């Protein structure tokens, strides 16, 4: 958990920073959110800095430098904690990019050299989004470094984007919170999906750098697209062992192969050479009517459409981990064969499948070309494009 020190006059910018941190799974202590009614503010902040937090982000602006509480309380408590425990990281954020000027001001006020710490200074002409992302990357390094001290064999990561939030779990080290990026229960803008992808990329890179290759156990209350993205980001080539919580049952990506799962494949061929193809996978509900509507809406109509459904099990029947792994492999082989036959440019993937299966399919998505993913809106009964993966 990280503490954010700032002037309340900068609260709007801290809101944006906090959102970036939460997208990367970081628990944040902030006086606006973490003080209950009746608490004594100064006592609780001192306790958070004295024992609870793993580090502090110091948001240095003119407002913060002019705040006696920031300089003579929060900075002092952070300094005392760091002197007792060098693992407590102090991360100065030089918002205007002038490290020397801020260091001189802090030295004059406290006698302390704040520039001695590995902070983040805004670069000339750097956008707000790029600056906040660099801060979040730096913060993630700090959090994962502390997690890695115990050399965990497995890291439990919550993922939430749906309005039904995950229950509190003390064994969870990270909680990726994407809820604020959704305009309603089912819809996120294309730019928001790119933000989610960037957050997952930062997490993957930081995990590899700070901890190595622990098993990752994802616990989702999230949209299918995030399952695909996580599987794709932590694919077999990255060598991260992967597990998911599929409705209370643990699924491991490296589960041994079992009996092949029987799938019924129904190709509808219009042209042998297809620039666009549609793959509909119906395991939890029948997509046919909804897919018909989407296919007619595509800017370039697909020339080949393939429907996949279970041959032996009824729609909605619960799968086990072995069956899911086999289905993912079959779908990958199906798309590879279709690409070799038609030389398609893009496959549109419409699915009603378990979240864990989406994760496994994303993990095996190499060599099948670009995949355009979609999210189903249960209110409007329309598929909307989310993001393309390759």
H-state helical runs in the chain: 11-23, 31-34, 41-47, 62-65, 68-69, 75-84, 99-110, 128-148, 190-210, 224-233, 288-297, 321-342, 355-363
Mean pLDDT of the chain: 88
Strands of the sheet containing 154-160, edge to edge, are 174-177, 154-160, 215-221, 242-246, 249-252
* Farthest-apart Cα atoms in the chain, separation: 76
Q: Please tell me the distance from the alpha carbon of residue 363 to that of residue 369, in angstroms, as a whole number.
A: 13
Q: Which two tokens stand for residue 77?
A: 């408590």
In this prediction, residue 133 carries a pLDDT of 98
In this prediction, residue 3 carries a pLDDT of 95
φ, ψ (nearest 5 deg) of residue 52? -80, -45
Read off the pLDDT of residues 1-20 as tens digits, 9 standing for 90 and up: 999 999 999 999 999 999 99
Residue-range domain boundaries for the chain: 2-148, 154-252, 263-389
Q: Are 132 and 98 in contact (CB under 8 A)?
A: no
pLDDT band at 290; cut points 50, 70, 90? low
pLDDT band at 269; cut points 50, 70, 90? low
Find the mean pLDDT for residues 270-275.
Answer: 58
Domain 2-148 and domain 263-389, same fold? Reply is yes
Read off the pLDDT of residues 59-82 as tens digits, 9 standing for 90 and up: 999 999 999 989 999 999 999 999
Q: Could you tell me what percent of the chain has a pLDDT over 70?
A: 91
Helix (H) or strand (E) holding 72: none
pTM value is 0.91
CATH 3.40.50.10140 fits 2-148, yes or no: yes
- Other C-beta atoms closer than 10 Å to the C-beta of 162 total 17
Find the mean pLDDT for residues 244-265.
Answer: 89
- CATH number for the region 263-389 comes to 3.40.50
Nearest Cα neighbor of 359 from 236, 203, 229 is 229
Read off the pLDDT of residues 90-136 as tens digits, 9 standing for 90 and up: 999 999 999 999 999 999 999 999 999 999 999 999 999 999 999 99
- The helix/strand/coil state of 251 is strand
pLDDT band at 245; cut points 50, 70, 90? very high
- The helix/strand/coil state of 158 is strand
Whole-Å CA distances, 384 to 69, 106, 132, 182, 350: 48, 51, 29, 13, 10
Is residue 292 over pLDDT 70?
Answer: no
φ, ψ (nearest 5 deg) of residue 356? -65, -35
Find the mean pLDDT for residues 371-383.
Answer: 85
Is residue 301 over pLDDT 90?
Answer: no
Q: Please tell me the distance from the alpha carbon of residue 199 to that of residue 71, in angstroms, as a whole number.
A: 31
| β 304-310/263-269 pair status | antiparallel
Higher confidence at residue 149 or residue 383? Answer: 149
Is residue 51 over pLDDT 70?
Answer: yes
Q: Which two tokens stand for residue 132?
A: 């906040």
pLDDT band at 54; cut points 50, 70, 90? very high
Q: Which two tokens stand for residue 36?
A: 């209950």
- Other C-beta atoms closer than 10 Å to the C-beta of 10 total 18
């Amino acid at each position: 958990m990280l503490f954010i020190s700032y002037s309340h006059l900068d609260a709007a910018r801290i809101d944006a920073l906090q959102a970036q941190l939460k997208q990367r799974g970081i628990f944040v202590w902030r006086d606006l959110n973490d003080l209950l009614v009746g608490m004594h503010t100064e006592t609780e902040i001192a306790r958070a800095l004295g024992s609870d937090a793993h580090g502090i982000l110091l948001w240095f602006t003119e407002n913060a430098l002019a705040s006696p509480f920031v300089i003579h309380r929060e900075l002092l408590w952070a300094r005392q904690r760091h002197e007792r425990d060098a693992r407590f990281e102090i991360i100065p954020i030089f918002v205007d990019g002038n490290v020397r000027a801020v260091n001189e001001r802090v030295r004059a006020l406290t006698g302390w050299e704040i520039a001695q710490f590995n902070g983040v200074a805004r670069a000339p002409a750097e956008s707000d989004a790029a600056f906040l992302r660099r801060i979040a990357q730096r913060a993630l390094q700090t959090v994962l470094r502390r997690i890695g001290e115990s050399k965990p064999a497995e890291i439990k990561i919550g993922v939430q984007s749906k309005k039904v939030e995950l229950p509190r779990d003390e064994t969870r080290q990270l909680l990726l919170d994407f809820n604020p990026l959704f305009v309603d229960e089912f819809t996120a803008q294309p730019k928001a999906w790119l933000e989610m992808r960037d957050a997952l990329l930062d997490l993957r890179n930081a995990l590899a750098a700070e901890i190595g290759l622990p098993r990752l156990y994802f616990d989702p209350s999230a949209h299918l697209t995030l399952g695909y993205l996580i599987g794709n980001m932590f694919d077999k080539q990255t060598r991260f062992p992967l597990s998911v919580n599929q409705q209370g049952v643990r699924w491991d990506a490296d589960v041994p192969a079992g009996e092949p799962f029987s799938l019924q494949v129904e190709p509808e061929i219009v042209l042998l050479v297809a620039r666009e193809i549609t793959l509909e996978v119906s395991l939890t509900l029948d997509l046919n009517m909804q897919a018909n509507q989407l296919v007619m809406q595509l800017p370039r109509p697909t020339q080949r459409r393939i429907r996949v459904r279970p041959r032996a099990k009824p729609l909605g029947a619960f799968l086990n981990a072995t069956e899911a792994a086999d289905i993912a492999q079959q779908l990958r082989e199906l798309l590879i064969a279709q690409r070799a036959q038609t030389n398609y440019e893009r496959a549109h993937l419409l699915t009603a499948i378990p979240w864990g299966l989406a994760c496994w399919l994303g993990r095996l998505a190499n060599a099948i070309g670009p995949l355009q993913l979609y999210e189903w809106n249960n209110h409007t009964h329309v598929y909307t494009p989310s993001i393309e993966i390759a």
